[in-house]
Each structure stands twice: as structure tokens, then as C-alpha cells.
Amino acid sequence: MWPAMGFFRRALRKAGFVPPESFAPPSFPFQGEVRLRHWEYDRLSTGWWQVTVNSPEEWEAKVGEILTGFRRHFGIFMMKDGRAVPRWNDRTWAVVQRGLVVEGR
């Protein structure tokens, strides 16, 4: 992570900002749109995913699927020659993951 990101994180926390609550379906079965977004860095977000889940277990599996897609999209850099280069190691991913929230609409 570059230094400015840490600066903004400290500034937000000192100002009393806390991550918003992640969206959870109010009841099951649930059908709607959800996405992942990093609460401090809006550029780190997925598109809206259409989801249909029938139980809390299916919900957790779907969130895991979205997390996997998020890491694949942002955590791997594709070189011009076709090589995939990891952008994040496991430690960095753990830090990024703590700031992710599920949003629903």
C-alpha cells in the first residue's frame, strides 16, 4: 500500500469514522443486488451482482464467491505478455478484506 492510503485511514479513524455495517438479507429467500466496496476507498468495489439465496448458508457462500472474484480482479495484474503477477500477498489481502463491506440495493 502506498503511504497516502495510510494517511487517509488514520485521518478517517481520528475523525471518528467507522466502517458501515455490511448488508445482510432481512429474510430468506432473498433476491436482490449486492456488491463489495472498501469503505475507505470507493475505487475498490465490484459491480452489482444479482443474487438469489434461500438460506443463511447460501448467503455466506455467495459472499465468499464475490470475495474470490474481488481478489482475482484487484489482486492479480495481467502483463501484456499474458503472465499473471500477484499484486497482493495473503497478508495484504487480509488487511484489504477487513475494510470490505457488502452493500445491497
Model pLDDT for residues 4-16, shown as the tens digit of each residue: 555 666 676 666 6
Read off the pLDDT of residues 63-99 as tens digits, 9 standing for 90 and up. Answer: 999 999 999 999 898 899 999 999 888 999 998 999 8
Place of cell 482475482: 72
Q: Is it the case that residue 57 has pLDDT exceeding 60?
A: yes
Using alpha carbons, list the distances in angstroms from residue 87 to 11, 72, 103: 25, 10, 25
pLDDT at 1 (0 to 100):
43
pLDDT at 101 (0 to 100):
94
**Overall average pLDDT of the 27-51 stretch:** 92
Share of the chain above pLDDT 90, in %: 55
Q: How, if at all, do strands 30-38 and 76-78 pair?
A: unpaired
